[in-house]
Chain A
Amino acid sequence: MRFTGSEEYVSTDDLTLAVNAAIQLQRPLLVKGEPGTGKTMLAVQVAKALGVPLLEWHIKSTTKAQQGLYEYDAVSRLRDSQLGDPRVHDIHNYIVKGMLWQAFSADSPVVLLIDEVDKADIEFPNDLLRELDRMEFYVYETRELVKAKHRPIVFITSNNEKELPDAFLRRCFFHYIRFPDKETMEKIVGVHFPELKKSLLREAMDVFFEVREVPGLKKKPSTSELLDWLKLLLAEDIPPDALRSKDRKTIIPPLHGALLKNEQDVHLFERLVFMTRAKA
């Protein structure tokens, strides 16, 4: 199995290589990067390109490693016991399989996405070491060992909110998705909006990178925000020259709400644009 990018996802050389290394060596790939650069989309697109099912495990601050393996639903067993349900005699009825178990027991290899691993408790990655390394775990309630039939292709994304333990990192490949340069960005836009007018694209990209370069922005717009903004521009059918308007009243680009998500940022941007245009 080899990944070479897909019709909907532009993959740079280094990213493609990291993905293929992870697939061939059957080790997890840890993906980091600015928010909105397509970390989660990567797993979706790899699954699509390879034609295998995708299992997604979204991590929250309260998620425990155990929940990815299985959960023992003691409450419903308790209720059943009080109601005299015959199911209560078999513990298997109350063991709910988690995402890892589902991935391990699948009949063909799957792509498993562990999304935003840094959101969880600090011990979370450590609790998954053996599971990800040997791809097996033990179910205490039924005393059975669950072993992966096929080692799943594991993608782990992180937003850098917590440092991950070294022992965990040593078992992974690592890739950091950089913010794309203008050329890659044009390719990405081309993939999403093939019928976009060249002139509109050029103007929009100029505005976008200009906005990104404004010093002091609290949240710089990223790829996903550019795509949203273009979608809006297309839907509103805004002509390219409107983006370069010299009119005082429309100093900030139309529909800027898609790019700037913070009123202080909008205010700052307005002021800066006004100052530079006034000078010119």
Chain B
Amino acid sequence: MLIDFFLKLKSHKLPVSIKEYLTLLEAMGKGVIGPSVDDFYYLSRASLVKDEANFDKFDRAFAEFWQGVETIPGIEAQIPLEWLLKQVELTLTEEEKKQIEALGGWEKLMETLKERLEEQKGRHQGGNKWIGTGGTSPFGAYGYNPEGIRIGQDKSRNRSAVKVWDQREYRNLDDSVELGTRNIKVALRRLRRFAREGAPDEFDLEHTIDATARKAYLDIHMRPERRNTVKVLMLMDIGGTMDDHVKLAEELFSAAKTEFKHLEFYYFHNCLYDFVWKDNRRRHSERTRTWDLLHKYGHDYKVIFVGDATMSPYEILQPGGSIEYFNEEPGSVWIKRVTDIYAKCIWLNPEPEEIWGYRQSIQVLKELMNGRMYPTTLSGLERAMKVLAK
């Protein structure tokens, strides 16, 4: 039976190994847990899942697997059903309730609702279509969506097993969702490169022993301390469509500031042209020529563009395409110059990756960046940092 469980986890793309599975069996053999499903859930999670980002996947796989095994003592399969009932009752009028009775009663309706929800989870992309529109489905009319049904949220005492995993509390930890400052910092930390530079102020034991052995008297050697030497040039899109992403850009910026000692940042609007600026309030008076930028920062800098790349394609490809002033050279030329100078250069895009294909300007810029455009999710950021750290 548990082999099926193991395979179920595998099929949900959880990185479980045979060693961990054997550990779980060993623990059960030693009687770590009683005959309770709650305990089994906790034990299997502790032994098989090693990253909280995978907890949500595990919860779903566990719920799916457990549906087939309802006869085991300790499982009350009707509990989530009750819970659903309660939710529905809150929102239904008497008339609607009668209508439902006509459809075959609560139990049946809830079963179907559960099935629907499941199907919907499976399809994922077409999610909105299933429940909510059209009005032909008996559920859509009552304004349901899977977000609305959070099983077990209001009762935390005396949790029944089914509820614990059906709550899907770890949904937010899944690494495809957006990030907070801390997560960003952690992702940026991948870029750290240590090198010994500067004044020799650390005792170098190995070298000292070596030199002492050679000279037969104590010969002390010092060396510089290891420091993070990564250099980052950050170019951020500001204003216009970026207003929707202000919070994210802020978080990214504050995280980057604490992580890198050599961080230079400049703003641009929509696309990179002749000028960039440091202070958005004085963007017209205190500008820096992009040429100066390219001359000032050596090619060992890593360049990170942050922007939604959402604009008219003319703004990138045509001279005079800028919406602010007449630019002699198109933005694409400037982007090309940057990618020519800096081998390590990427674009972070706060727009979700799924919609990139529908926006021409994103496609154009992605091509200009040689495909190195990444979404600002945790996994996207990690992919980006890997490219930069290579």
Residues of B within 8 A of A181 (CB): 156
Q: How many of chain A's residues have a CB under 8 angstroms from any CB in B?
A: 37
Residue of A nearest to B20 (CB): A170
CB distance from B357 to the nearest CB of A (A): 30
Interface string of A131-175 (1 = CB under 8 A from B): 000000000000000000000000000001110101001111111
Q: Is the CB of B47 within 8 A of A21?
A: yes
**A62 to B, closest residue via Cβ:** B226
Interface pair A21/B46, CB less than 8 Å apart: yes
Question: Chain B, 20-64, contact with A by CB distance < 8 Å: what is the 0/1 string?
Answer: 100100110010110000110011011101111001000000000
A218 contacts B15, CB within 8 Å? no
- Specify which chain B residues have a CB less than 8 angstroms from the CB of A219 in the assembled complex: 181-182
- For residue B254, CB closer than 8 A to chain A, the reply is yes
Q: What are the residues of chain A within 8 A of B171 when measuring CB–CB?
A: none
* Chain A, residue nearest B31 (CB): A24
In the complex with contacts A13-B38, A78-B209, A166-B15, A160-B169 CB distance below 8 A: no
Task: Give the interface of A toward B (CB within 8 A).
Answer: 13-14, 17-18, 20-21, 24-25, 27, 29-30, 32, 62, 74-75, 78-79, 82, 160-162, 164, 166, 169-176, 178, 181, 183, 216, 218-219
The interface residues of chain A lying within 8 Å CB-to-CB of B26 are: 25
**Complex alpha-carbon distance, A219 and B189, angstroms:** 18
B42:A13 contact, CB within 8 angstroms: yes
Complex: how many Å from CA A161 to CA B46? 20
Q: Is the CB of A25 within 8 A of B156?
A: no
Q: List 21 A-B contacts (CB under 8 A).
A: A13-B38, A17-B33, A17-B43, A21-B32, A21-B33, A25-B23, A25-B27, A27-B23, A30-B50, A32-B52, A74-B209, A78-B212, A160-B186, A161-B186, A169-B50, A170-B17, A170-B20, A173-B47, A174-B46, A183-B157, A216-B247
Q: Tell me if B195 counts as interface (CB < 8 A to partner A).
A: no
Q: Are B254 and A82 in contact (CB under 8 A)?
A: no
Known: A25-B26, A74-B205. A17 touches B39 (CB 8 A): yes
How far does the alpha carbon of A173 sit from the alpha carbon of B42 in the complex, in Å? 11
CB distance from A52 to the nearest CB of B (A): 19
B299 CB to closest chain A CB (Å) equals 27
Please, which residues of chain A bring their CB within 8 A of the CB of B23?
25, 27, 173
A20 closest partner in B (C-beta)? B32
Q: Is the pair B205, A172 in contact by a Cβ cutoff of 8 Å?
A: no
B49 touches A174 (CB 8 A): yes
The 9 closest A-B pairs by CB, nearest first: A169-B50, A176-B52, A18-B46, A14-B42, A174-B50, A17-B42, A173-B46, A21-B32, A170-B19
Contacts of B173 in A (CB 8 A): 176
Closest B residue to A177 by beta carbon equals B52
Q: Once the chains bind, are B52 and A24 in contact (CB under 8 Å)?
A: no
A71 to chain B, nearest CB (A): 11
Nearest-CB distance from B238 to chain A (Å)? Answer: 18
User: Is the pair A178, B169 in contact by a Cβ cutoff of 8 Å?
Assistant: yes
Complex: how many Å from CA A43 to CA B186? Answer: 25
Residues of B298-344 whose CB lies within 8 A of A:
none
CA distance A162 to B170 in the complex (A): 20
User: Using Cβ atoms and an 8 Å threshold, which residues of chain B touch A32?
Assistant: 52
- When C-beta atoms are compared, the residue in chain B nearest to A2 turns out to be B32
- Distance in angstroms between the alpha carbons of A218 and B257 in the assembled complex: 13
* Cα of A183 to Cα of B32 in the assembled complex, Å: 27
Contacts of B30 in A (CB 8 A): 24-25
**Residues from chain A with Cβ under 8 Å of B27 in the complex:** 21, 24-25
Q: Is the CB of B209 within 8 A of A176?
A: no
Q: How far is the CB of A16 from chain B (nearest CB, A)?
A: 9
* Distance A161 CA – B23 CA, assembled complex (angstroms): 27
B 186-228 to A, binary, CB cutoff 8 A, 1 in contact else 0: 1001000000000000000100110010000010000000100
- The CA-CA distance from A40 to B182 in the complex, in Å, is 20
- Smallest beta-carbon distance B193→chain A, Å: 12
Asked, given contacts A17-B39, A74-B209, A176-B55, whether A162 binds B189 with beta carbons under 8 Å apart, the answer is yes
- Chain A residues within 8 Å of B208, by CB: 75
Q: Determine the distance from Cα of A27 to Cα of B26 in the docked complex, in whole angstroms.
A: 12
- Residues from chain B with a CB closer than 8 A to the CB of A75 are 205, 208
Inter-chain contact B50/A172, CB cutoff 8 Å: yes
B19 touches A24 (CB 8 A): no
CA distance A82 to B46 in the complex (A): 55
A64 to B45: give the CA distance in the assembly, Å. 30
User: Closest residue to A183 on the B side, CB-wise?
Assistant: B156
Closest B residue, CB atoms, query A27 = B23
Q: In the complex the two chains form, what is the Cα distance from A175 to B44 in whole Å?
A: 11
Min CB gap B135→A, angstroms? 34
Measured in the bound complex, the distance between the Cα atoms of B208 and A18 in whole Å is 47
Residues of chain B within 8 A (CB-CB) of A218 are: 181, 254
Task: Specify the chain B residue showing the minimal Cβ separation from A16.
Answer: B42
- Most chain A CB neighbours (cut-off 10 Å) among B186, B189, B205: B186
Residue of A nearest to B26 (CB): A25
- Quick check: A161 and B189 within 8 Å, CB to CB? yes
CA distance A193 to B297 in the complex (A): 56
- In the assembled complex, which residues on chain B have CB atoms less than 8 Å from the CB atom of A18? 42-43, 46
